[in-house]
Structure 1
Amino acid sequence: MRQGFRARLVLVSALAFILFSTLLARFYYVQVHRHEELLGKAQKKYTAKRLSKGRRGMIFDSTRSPAPNILAMTRVTYEVFAEPKHMGSRKWEVFDILKKETGVSDDLLRPRFLNEKLVQVVVAKGITIDKVMKLREMKLPGLHYKESQSRFYPKYSLASNVLGFINHQGKGVMGIESTFDKQMTPTTGEVVIERSRKNRELQTLKSVNPKDGWDVYLTISEPIQSFMEEELDRLVSKIPCKSVYAMMTDPRTGAIMAMAQRPTFNPNDRSSMKAGSYTNRMVEHVFEPGSIMKACSIAVVMGLRNFSFNDRIDCEDGMWYFAGRPLRDAGHNYGNIPIWQVIQKSSNIGTAKLAISVGKHAMYSGLRRFGFGEKSGLNMGTESRGIFRHVDKWDGLSISRMPIGQGIAVTVPQMMQAWGALANDGNMMQLRVVDKVKKPDTGEVIEYPPILKRRVLPLRVTQGMTNALKTVTRDGGTAPKAHVPGYYVAGKTGTSQKWINNAYSDRIHVASFVGYAPADNPEFVLMIVVDEPSYKYRYGGTAAAPTFRRIAEKTLRYLNVTPDLPDEITDEVK
C-alpha cells in the first residue's frame, strides 16, 4: 500500500513539474520573445502618436533689396474626402458642387461616386483654405477635410526649367528641386502621449519637433529672368521653330543670371508638363554651334602664334579646296583680308586656314582648355559632355571643319563657359546657379562662392578678340541687329546645318547669337539659340540677334549701366 502511495506521489509530482515547466516556458515566451509585440499592442490602447511635418525649403532669387523674390514655397492646403453613402438624396447635388469648386474632372470623380464598395473616396488634393471654407459654409453632408502641404510656384512658369518640380511623394524630380532635394526635405516631428481609459491625455511620453528644410538662394535674378522669358515668347510667336534656349551669365563670377527655354511648363499645372517641356534641354541636349565657335578657334591660334589681328589671310574669293573637299564662304567672295575682318565677316576659309597653321594637336588642346568635350560642372542633374572626338580620331578634313563649328556638338553651358573666358580677360569661371543655402531655424549658411576654373588665354588675345567682335555688331558685320544703342557689344552669329539622314541638310538649321556687353567691361554674357527656325529665319543675325538686343537693352537699363555712347541713346529717343 505504501508502495502504491509513493507511485501516485511520484506521478503527481511529475505532472506538477511538467505543468510548472510548461507554464514557466510559456511565461518566458510571452515575457521575452513576444515582449515587443505585446508591448506595442498595449501601447496602442493607452498611448497616442501625433506626427507633424516641417516645411520643405523655399527657393529664392538673387535679389537682396528690399527682399529676395520667392520662386518656390510650401503652403498649407487640404485634402477633400467624401462618403457618398452618407449624403442621402443630396449625393449628386454634392457631386456637382465638388466638381465646380475643386476643379476635378467628371471622368475622374464620377466612377468613385458610383463605386458602392468604397466607403470613403478622395475628391481632390491641394485645395486652398479659401475653397475649403466655402465648402464648409455650405454644410454639405458626407465631406471631410485633412490639412496637408503642397508645393507652390508663385511665378508659375517663370524659371520652371531651372526650378524643376516635386512628385506626389514630395521628392524633387528635376532642376533645383532634385539637385537639392536632400537639403530641402524637412524632418517629421513626433509626439507620443499617454491616455486614460476615457481617452484623456495624462502625460507626454515623447516629443520631437519637426525641422524645416534648408532654403536655397539662386544666382537667378527674377527681373532679368522675366525680361528673357518675355522676349522668348515674342520670338516664338514671330518665328516658327522647334525650340529656343537662352542663358545669361556674369563672366566675372560664373553666376547664371537667367536661363530659359521654349517650350516650357507651369509646375503648378501638371497637364502642361510634357516630356519635351520640363526637361532642361540646355544641359542635356547638344547642337553643332556653327560660326559662334570661330571666336574660340581663332583665339586659340592667336594665343599660340605671334599674329596680329591686322595680319592678312587670303580667303580665296569665297572658294577653297582642302583635303579634296570644297569650303565656301556662304556666297561671299572675300579676298586678302585682316584677321579681325575674318571674324567680322565670319569667313569659313579664313578661320580654317588659321586653324591649319597651328596643327590639329594644338587646336584640339586649345579647344579642350575652353571646356569642349567635358561637362561644364553646372550641378543641375543629367548633363551632356557634348561630342568632341579625340584628335587621334580626326580625319584629314577635321582640322578645317571643327574650328568653324562643324563636326563638333556642344551644350549651351559649355559655350557660355567658353565665351565667359573671352569676356573675363581669359579667366574661365565655374558656372553656378546656387549662391547659398540657409537653415531657417539656426541661420546656418553654406555659401557657393565664385571659383576660377582655369586661365585659358593671355590678356592681349582677349583684348584683340573683343575689338574684333565689336565690329560684328556694327555696320559691315553679320549682326547689326544685335547692336544695343549706346553700348559697344562684342558678339558672334552662328548658323549651322543639322545632320539629317547622314548628310548636312540645306533646309534645317540652328541659328544662334552669343555676345557680351558692355564689350570692354562686361556685365553679362548672353546667348540665344533657335533650333530649326523656318528657312526664312535660318541665319543667326536674323533669328537670334534681335532677341539678344532686346534682352540686353532691358538688362543694361535695369542694372543702370553707364552708356559707352550716350549720344546714340539721345538719337534713338529723338
Structure 2
Amino acid sequence: MRDSGGRGQGPGRGGGGAGSQGGPGAARRTPGGPGRAGRPGTGRAASPDDPFHLPFGDTPRSRGGSPADDDVPDDDPAPGGPRRPRPGQGRPRRGDDDLPAGGPHADERSRGRTSRRGGSRRGEDDLPAGGPHAEERSRGRAGQRDGEASPGGARGGSARGERFRRDESDHRRDAGPSRGRAGQRDTEARQGDAFRRRPSDTARRPPHDRSRGDGDARGRDDGSARRTQADNPVRRPRDEDAGRARPGEGPRAATRAGTDAGGRGGTRVRAGEGARRDPQDGARRRAGGGHGKSPPPPKPPLVLRLGSPKRRISIGLIAMTFILSIFAGRLIQMQGLDSKVYEAAATKQRLHVEKIPAKRGSITDVNGHNLALTVEARDISIDPSKIPAEVRQGVASLLARTLGRPVEEMAAKLARTDTRYQLLARGVAPPVADRLLKEPVPSLNATSTFRRVYPGGDLAGSLIGFVGDDKDGLTGIEQVKNTALAGTDGELQIETGRDLQRIPMTGSQRTPPVDGRDVRLTIDRDIQWAAQKAIGEQVESAGASSGTVIVMDVRTADVIAMANAPELDLANWREAPESHYLNRAAADVFEPGSTNKVITAAAALEAGVVDSDTVFHVKDNIQCYDRVLRDAHAHPPEDMTFAQAMAQSSNVATVMAARRVGSEGLYDMLKAFGFGTKPGGDMPGAGAGLLPHHDKWSGSQSCTIAYGQGVSVTALQMASVYQTIANGGVKVEPRIVAGTTAPDGTFTPAKPGKKTRVISTATAKEITAMLEDAVGAQGTGELAAIPGYRVAGKTGTANRYDAELGRYDGYTASFAGFTPADAPRLVVLSVLQNPKNGHYGGQIAAPVFKDVMTFALKSRKIPPTGSAASPARAGAEQ
C-alpha cells in the first residue's frame, strides 16, 4: 500500500499524498488542473450548511480574491514542492477534529481511527457525494497520502518545523488540508480533550509536553498558546499561517503543520480564516525575535460554579426540617402545654359581661315620704361620625330643644367626628327619649338606666346629698349610707361576636341584681319645710350670710328637722356652688356666745359653789388678766341672784361663777356635754368643734370660755346640750337615720343613740327654771315666748371669727330652747351668721325659734301642760 499509494491514488484525493508526478494525483495537485487541489490553509468560504461553521467575518481570500489581497506576503514554493492552491481552486477539507464529540459524526471519527490503526480505510464510494461527507472523503484521501508520504516530503516537513522553531519571525504558510495518520490521531486526541476538559485545563499543560507523539512535538512551540485560546470558549484570533507550506517543504510537511496547528493549537482552520488573521501578528512576531516566548494566555473568564445538587437538597431538607420543628413545637405548646391558658383567653375574648344595675334605694322621711327616689330613665348617645356636616347644626338644635341643653353643647358633641360614641344626656325621662328616637336622626341610641329624683327640690338638700354619674353618693346621706342604698349590681354573661352582637344558640349566665335598701330618716318632711322656710326668710331679712335651724326630739335625740339657708337645690346641684354642698348644721363651727352659759351654770351647780339664789355684786365690767370684759349693756353696780344673772345674760356674773368652778372643772363639764367630740348617728358632715385643753387656756380665755367665747362648736352640738338639760341631764347621742327598709318591705330600725348622764335631774330642773326666766318679760328672749306654752331658752350673741379674714368680724346670733318647759318634748336651735340688720340673738334668732317651735308643736300635736310658772321665775318677777 505504501509503494503504490493505495487508495490515495484514487480520483478526487488531495495533493498531500506521495503519488507519482505523472499520475492523476499529480495532475490534481496542479493549480487549475482538473483534479481537486489539496486543502490550503487559507480555508474555504463559510457555508451555511456547515454545522460547525464559526461566524467569523469574510476576508479577501474567502471571497475569492488574489493572494495579493492578503496582509501577509506569500513565500515561493520550494522546487519540487506542491504549488500553492489558488482561491476557489478546491474546496477545503474538514478534518476529524472539526467534528464535535458524540452526535451524528461520532461514527465517522470512529471509522477514521479504525482505518488508521488497521490499515483499512473507508473508500470514497462508502460516503455519499457532496454535503458534509465530501469533506470526510477528502480527509480520507489526505490520510492515505499522509501515510505514503515521500521522504522528501518528510524532510520538508522536518525542515519546516526546525525553521519554525529557530525563527518565529517568518510568516507561517497555510498548511495543506491533507492530514496524515499521525496528525489525524493527534487532532482527534486533542479534540476529545477539548470537549472533556474545562478551558483552564489546557492553559495549565506544560508547553513542551511530548506525550502526544510526533504531531504534538512539531507544533508545541506555538501550539500551546493557540490551544489555550481554542479551548477557551471565547473566540480567539486564528493563526492563518499554520497550514501554509514553506519553500522547500513538501505537501506532507504542510499537512503536518496544518494538523499541528489545528490539533495542537486547538485552532480549526476554515475557509477564509487565513485572510482574517491579525495584520499586526507578523510584525509582532518579527519584533519578538526568533526564540521569544509566546505571550501569556489570557485570563479565563469567571465561571459561575453551581453547588452540588445533592448538597443543596440536603441543606434545603435540613432547613425545612428545622422550620417544621419550630411549628410543631409551637403547636405542641399551644394545644398541649398551654391549652387551658389559650382556652381561657378565647373564652374571655368572646364572653361579654353586661352589668345589670341595681335599683338604688329611696330616702324617705320618718313618715315614709320620699325625699329621694330612683326611677327608670334613658341615657341618650349618638355616633357623631354618621351625622353629615350639612345637617349637623339642625340636629344640634333639635337635640338641644328636646333635651333642654344649650345648642353650643350639642354642636360641640356632634363635632367630635373622631369618636363613634358621644353621650348627649343622662337620666332622660322615658317619654322624652321615646319622642326623640322618633326623630329622623341617624345613629341615635337610648340605653335603659335609672336616675335619681328629688321630689322636694331643695328640701333638706344639703342633708340628703346627691349621687354622681356612676350612681354613687357624693355628699349627705347619699354618701354616708351609700352601701345600703346602692345595693348590688347584677351581671349578664353572654357570648358575643366582633361587633358585640350576641352569638345565636349560645348560653348565658345571669346574676340578678339586688336592689338597694330604702333609708328612713328621722326628719319630718313638714317640720323640715317649716324650719327651712323660717330660717331662709330670716337670713334674707337680716342680711345674714347663712343660717341654721335644728329641731330635735328631747327623749330620743332624733333630729326632726335640719335646715340650712341657703339650701342646695338637688334638681340642679351641678350648677350650685360648692359651698352649698356642705351641711352647715353639722359641719359649720362657731363660737356659741351666751347659749354656752348653761354649761357654766351646770358646772357651778354641780360643784355646789353656787345655787340659784346666790347673790353677786355685779358691775358692768370685770378685769380678767390683761383684758377688761363687759356686759352687753352698761348698768351701774347692782346685786343680783345667780338666777337673775342668767335671765339677764350677765357676762360679769357668769365669769364670777366660773372662777369659783375653776378652769379644769369647766373644761370637764364642756367635755361631758360633747364639746370637742364628733357626734355619731351617721350624721353627714358632722364636726367635732374646737375645745382646747384647759392647760392651754390663756388668762383671758379662762374667763371668756365661761360665756361662750374662745370655744367653737357646731349647731348640732349646741342643740345636744339643750336636749341633755331638757331630758333631765341625760345626754342621748343624736341620730338622723331611723332605720332601713329591705326590698321585701322589712323595716330594720337603727340603733338608738347612746345615753349618758351629764348632770343630775335636780341641776337640770334648776337650770330649766333659770331658762324660763330668760324667756320671761325681764329676760333677753322674750320674742321666743309661745302663748299657752312654757318655754325655756337662752339667747346668744358672740363675736364671729372669720377664717377667710383671719380675725373676728361680725357676729353670730343664736337662740336655743325647749318646750313645754315642765315636760320638754322638742328642742329648737336657730343660728344666723354675720347678720347685718341687727346682731343680737334675742332680736333676730328668737323669732325663728318661735315660728319653728309653734309649727312643730302643732304638727306633733303636743298640747300645753297648763301648769303654772316655776317658783324661781315667780320670785324673780316679784
TM-score (normalizing by structure 2)? 0.59
- Hey, what does 1:163 align to over in structure 2? 464
- Hey, what does 2:825 align to over in structure 1? 523
- Hey, what does 1:358 align to over in structure 2? 661
Contact 1:196 1:202 in 2 (8 A): no
Please report how far the alpha carbon of residue 62 of structure 1 lies from its aligned counterpart in structure 2 after TM superposition. 0.6
- Hey, what does 1:27 align to over in structure 2? 332
Q: Deviations over 1:158-208 (max 9, x none)?
A: 111111111222221111111111222232222334689996643534221
- Hey, what does 2:706 align to over in structure 1? 403
Contact 1:191 1:204 in 2 (8 A): no
Q: Deviations over 1:490-546 (max 9, x none)?
A: 1000000124677655xx111000111111222211111100000x31000111111
Taking only the aligned residue pairs, the percentage that are identical comes to 27
Amino acid at match of 2:826: F
Contact 1:163 1:174 in 2 (8 A): yes
Which has the higher mean CA deviation after the structures are superposed, 207-216 or 550-559?
A: 207-216
Paired residues for 1:529-548 under 5 Å: 529-534=831-836, 536-548=837-849
- Hey, what does 1:92 align to over in structure 2? 393
The equivalent position to 1:305 in structure 2, one of 586, 590, 608, is: 608
Amino acid at match of 2:701: S
Amino acid at match of 1:129: P
Contact 1:376 1:417 in 2 (8 A): no
The equivalent position to 1:559 in structure 2, one of 850, 856, 860, is: 860
In structure 2, list runs of 5 or more residues that go unmatched: 1-312, 869-878
Q: What's the Cα RMSD here?
A: 3.0
* Cα distance in 2, alignment partners of residues 81 and 528 from structure 1: 47
* Cα distance in 1, alignment partners of residues 416 and 623 from structure 2: 76
Q: CA 1:37 to 1:226, structure 2 compared with 1: closer, same or farther past 3 Å? A: farther
Which has the higher mean CA deviation after the structures are superposed, 82-91 or 519-528?
A: 82-91
Which has the higher mean CA deviation after the structures are superposed, 521-530 or 278-287?
A: 278-287
- Hey, what does 1:54 align to over in structure 2? 358
Amino acid at match of 1:54: A
Q: CA 1:111 to 1:563, structure 2 compared with 1: closer, same or farther past 3 Å? A: same
Matched, 1:510 2:812: yes
Amino acid at match of 2:771: L
Please report how far the alpha carbon of residue 82 of structure 1 lies from its aligned counterpart in structure 2 after TM superposition. 3.0
Amino acid at match of 2:846: A
Amino acid at match of 2:864: P
- Hey, what does 1:570 align to over in structure 2? none
- Hey, what does 1:3 align to over in structure 2? none
SS of the residue 2:796 aligns to: strand
Q: CA 1:38 to 1:551, structure 2 compared with 1: closer, same or farther past 3 Å? A: same
* Cα distance in 2, alignment partners of residues 515 and 37 from structure 1: 73
In structure 1, list runs of 5 or more residues that go unmatched: 1-7, 568-574
Paired residues for 1:140-151 under 5 Å: 140-151=441-452
Please report how far the alpha carbon of residue 566 of structure 1 lies from its aligned counterpart in structure 2 after TM superposition. 10
SS of the residue 1:216 aligns to: strand
Which has the higher mean CA deviation after the structures are superposed, 373-382 or 29-38?
A: 29-38
SS of the residue 1:80 aligns to: strand
The equivalent position to 1:276 in structure 2, one of 579, 597, 615, is: 579
* Cα distance in 2, alignment partners of residues 165 and 31 from structure 1: 55
Please report how far the alpha carbon of residue 273 of structure 1 lies from its aligned counterpart in structure 2 after TM superposition. 2.2
Paired residues for 1:162-561 under 5 Å: 162-193=463-494, 201-202=504-505, 204-305=507-608, 307-316=610-619, 318-333=620-635, 335-441=638-744, 445-499=747-801, 504-505=808-809, 508-534=810-836, 536-561=837-862
Q: CA 1:565 to 1:44, structure 2 compared with 1: closer, same or farther past 3 Å? A: same
Higher RCO (CA-CA < 8 Å; seq separation 6+): 1
Please report how far the alpha carbon of residue 219 of structure 1 lies from its aligned counterpart in structure 2 after TM superposition. 0.9
Contact 1:194 1:202 in 2 (8 A): no
Contact 2:463 2:583 in 1 (8 A): yes
SS of the residue 2:713 aligns to: coil
Which has the higher mean CA deviation after the structures are superposed, 26-35 or 515-524?
A: 26-35
Which has the higher mean CA deviation after the structures are superposed, 478-487 or 305-314?
A: 305-314
Q: CA 1:311 to 1:122, structure 2 compared with 1: closer, same or farther past 3 Å? A: same
SS of the residue 2:606 aligns to: helix
* Cα distance in 2, alignment partners of residues 474 and 433 from structure 1: 32
* Cα distance in 1, alignment partners of residues 392 and 801 from structure 2: 61
Please report how far the alpha carbon of residue 271 of structure 1 lies from its aligned counterpart in structure 2 after TM superposition. 3.9
Contact 2:552 2:561 in 1 (8 A): yes
* Cα distance in 2, alignment partners of residues 395 and 44 from structure 1: 70
The structure with the greater share of residues assigned to strand is 1
Contact 2:616 2:641 in 1 (8 A): yes
Amino acid at match of 1:281: R
* Structure number with bigger Rg: 2
Q: Deviations over 1:205-231 (max 9, x none)?
A: 422111112221111111111111111
- Hey, what does 2:378 align to over in structure 1? 78
Contact 2:683 2:735 in 1 (8 A): no
* Cα distance in 2, alignment partners of residues 538 and 17 from structure 1: 96
- Hey, what does 2:299 align to over in structure 1? none
